[in-house]
Amino acid sequence: MATTEERELLRANKHGPVLQLWLDKDSQHQHVASALRKNKTVTTVSVFVEEDFMESPLQDIAHLFRAIGCLPLQNLYIYSFGRNFDVFPIRLLIEVFSRAKKLEVLTMYFIELGGKKKHFDAFEAAIRGHPSLREFRLENCRLPDDYLNTHGLDQFVKTLGTLPKIEKIDLFATEMGYLGTLSKESMANLAGIKNLACLSLINFALGNDHITALSQALKGNTNLTELAISCDPKFCSALAPVIATNQTLNQVKVRMDSLDDDVFVQSIAGGLKDNKSITRFDLQGDVQNKLSVASQKIFADMLEKNSTLEYLEIPLTDQDSKMKAKYYLKLNQTGKRGLMENPGTSKKELVNALAYVGDDLDCLNHFLATKPTLVHD
């Protein structure tokens, strides 16, 4: 917890903008709350929760979070150090959100939110329409079964949709079902949030209905450019056509915990071949080191046709595929490959592109081979 010296700095408004607090049963919550009450310098608070912190009186902890909410708070991070999930009373977040109207970022890591129905209702009321929240992230978190059985995740998704400035939503369940079940309507609602630029949904049971709803929502929301989802290949065959046809996403991460065969992965490579907007693609999860040589070659061959993709994070163990992918990714990272391959590019633009890559012989030779008439001109 904050030292005596640190508390004096807080009281005197001489503390820096970042404050780290460790919560355990011996923390002096009331003294720290008193020091924070009139502070005007702290804008970022990181709370590290020890597994015994709830042995302190809840009223004292509530006073502390009430004081945190009264800060000119912009960023709040809450981390658990417990061996399992530490139950974090959601009423403490109510204390913050009912006061911190300038809060922009909330991240919680390895926390199980706890409380009665009235507490979750009050939290939804406190966060609904919050004027400044830009990022909402539950990383490796869990919601209690009682809440999921009575409310369901869909209701909370509707609340997130009321945030006028929300740009990033990250819902990462440690295991399937720990954050509940996401309906296809909620998928559409999330992807359709007007200002949302980044959406991450990990360890949800998604199927083709969800992917179709996502695809439809993306047609009306060109702000959403970063997407991370986990999927089971047996139920998400619709993902490859979405990747092939969407022209607004520029970063896509696909996480898979099981892979029965290469058909799904190869269909994704086929989708990337036709895509013109994605600059980074990641394949994450237990699929690591399970790609066949055939699939690796298909990804490498895809890059011969794709001049947009600059970063491809997949496990390439086949040396030929690895070298080929590295070569074409380097060409794409120059930002000039598409220009060189476009028949409508002017001679001046072509010459400028060659000058741009003049120090890299691989790129220069490739581009000259693309437009051999430039040598004679």
Compute the distance between CA of residue 262 and CA of residue 196 in angstroms, rounded to an integer. 33
User: End-to-end CA distance of the chain, in Å?
Assistant: 72
Cβ atoms of residues 29 and 55 within 8 Å: no
Which residues fall within 8 angstroms of residue 18, CB to CB, at 6 or more apart? Answer: 42, 43, 44, 45, 46
**Domain annotation covers residue 17:** yes
Q: Which of 51, 73, 95 marks a domain boundary? A: 73
> How high is the pLDDT of residue 377?
54
**Domain annotation covers residue 289:** no
Q: Which of 21, 47, 73 marks a domain boundary? A: 73
The residue-averaged pLDDT of 136-147 equals: 89
pTM for this structure? 0.90
User: Crossing angle for the helix pair 29-36 and 4-11, nearest 10 degrees?
Assistant: 30
Cα dihedral sign for 251, 193, 199, 137?
Answer: positive
Range of the domain at 377: 340-377
Compute the distance between CA of residue 175 and CA of residue 267 in angstroms, rounded to an integer. 26
**Domain annotation covers residue 44:** yes
pLDDT tens for residues 283-309? 887 655 578 899 999 999 999 999 999
Q: Which of 52, 73, 94 marks a domain boundary? A: 73
**Domain annotation covers residue 194:** no
**Domain annotation covers residue 23:** yes
Number of compact structural domains in the chain: 2
DSSP secondary structure letters along 102-131: T--EEEEESEEEE--HHHHHHHHHHHTT-S
Residue 97 has pLDDT above 80, yes or no: yes
CB-neighbour burial class of residue 362 (10 A; exposed 0-12, middle 13-18, buried 19+) = exposed
Compute the distance between CA of residue 54 and CA of residue 80 in angstroms, rounded to an integer. 12
* CA distances from residue 228 to 202, 235, 278 in whole angstroms, order as listed: 7, 17, 13
Cβ atoms of residues 177 and 147 within 8 Å: no
The most confident of the ranges 107-111, 259-263, 351-355 is 107-111
CB-neighbour burial class of residue 285 (10 A; exposed 0-12, middle 13-18, buried 19+) = middle
Residue 21 has pLDDT above 80, yes or no: yes
**Domain annotation covers residue 261:** no
**Domain annotation covers residue 53:** yes
E-assigned strands of 10-102? 18-23, 44-49, 75-80, 86-89
Residue 373 has pLDDT above 70, yes or no: no
Tokens linked to 270: 């086929």
Cβ atoms of residues 308 and 278 within 8 Å: yes
**Domain annotation covers residue 104:** no
Backbone angles phi, psi at 111, to 5 degrees: -120, 140
Residue 209 has pLDDT above 60, yes or no: yes
State what percent of residues in the chain have pLDDT above 70: 91
Tokens linked to 55: 């042995």
Radius of gyration (Cα) for the chain, nearest Å? 25
Average pLDDT, the chain: 87
